[in-house]
Amino acid sequence: MKNGLKIIARIFFIVVMIILIIFVYDIITANNKYKIEEKNLKIPIFVYHDIVENVEEVQYDYMQTTYETFKKQINGMINLGYKPISYTDLLDYANGEKKISKKSFLITFDDGYAGVYKYAYKFAKEKNIPISSFLINSKVGTPGYYNWEEAKEMDRSNLVGIYSHSLKHDEYDKYLPNELLKDTEESIKDIEDNLGHSINKVYTYPYGLYSKEGSELLKSKGIIQNLTDNKINQSKNLDMYGLHRMYPLNDPVWKIILKIEYRAIKYG
């Protein structure tokens, strides 16, 4: 019996030491940067919608996030060594033109809600970090959404990427591929006309709905595409025409990290 307890204790000690070594190594190498061919990195893309001030304003946890929760999540990730990057960074990385940090992640917002300008943009300026906002053209300047002047201000800061979430937020999996392309290109052109310059052609599907045929057509035109499937991007199979995104919801940072690791193993 005593020998059995000793063996269990030794195994427990070894496991704890292995975990400690991995943890220490992770901290030491957190600032290391790599090109895409050098190391298989996990690159989560967070998807939020609106940022609100009070918890009473939260109707659905995937649609509204309180400012306090949002700050805790992003600050927590940064404190653990994670570095926010932009789509320009990710594109350059995918093309083998740039190194990114070992612990890189992207922060995105769908729909173009007013809370992005009021809260997320404010936070981005305070922390000097990049975020991305995917707007619905027909909603810009309507009640609850930021307007073009606010979009231009965010764009000029060089901290906020403004991209397309379609002209009118429809179920585009039911569209013919040419109809999807027409809508997407018109949406992108409208953004460029209002911002006064060309942008990276990045598109997020409304409701996460898409067809294989439509996706292939957008790919042929060089349009980067975001999915919303709660999976994690990895360097070894990084697909800029089917980028995975995950919901942080109201999770504490430790739970977000566990989900990243679990999904990387499950879907990797």
* pLDDT 10s digits, 208-254: 999 999 999 999 999 999 999 999 999 999 999 999 999 999 999 99
d(CA 59, CA 251): 16
pLDDT value of position 4: 64
Contacts 24+ apart (CB under 8 A), 172-176: 172/205, 172/206, 172/209, 172/210, 172/211, 172/214, 173/205, 173/209, 173/210, 173/211, 173/214, 174/209, 175/211, 175/214
Q: b vs e for 4-15, b when ≥16 Cβ sit within 10 Å of the residue's Cβ?
A: eeeeeeeeeeee
pLDDT of residue 26: 67
Phi, psi (5° rounding) for residue 234? Answer: -135, 145
Residue 54: closest CA among 64, 45, 66: 66
pTM listed for this prediction: 0.91
Residue 15 corresponds to which amino acid? V
Furthest-apart CA atoms within the chain: distance in Å? 77
| Rounded Cα gap, residues 198 and 189, in angstroms | 8
> Quick check: helix, strand or coil at residue 211?
coil
Q: What is the CA radius of gyration of the chain?
A: 20
**What does the pLDDT read at residue 3?**
66
Model confidence at 185: pLDDT above 60: yes
Count, residues in the chain: 268
User: pLDDT band at 128, cuts 50/70/90?
Assistant: very high
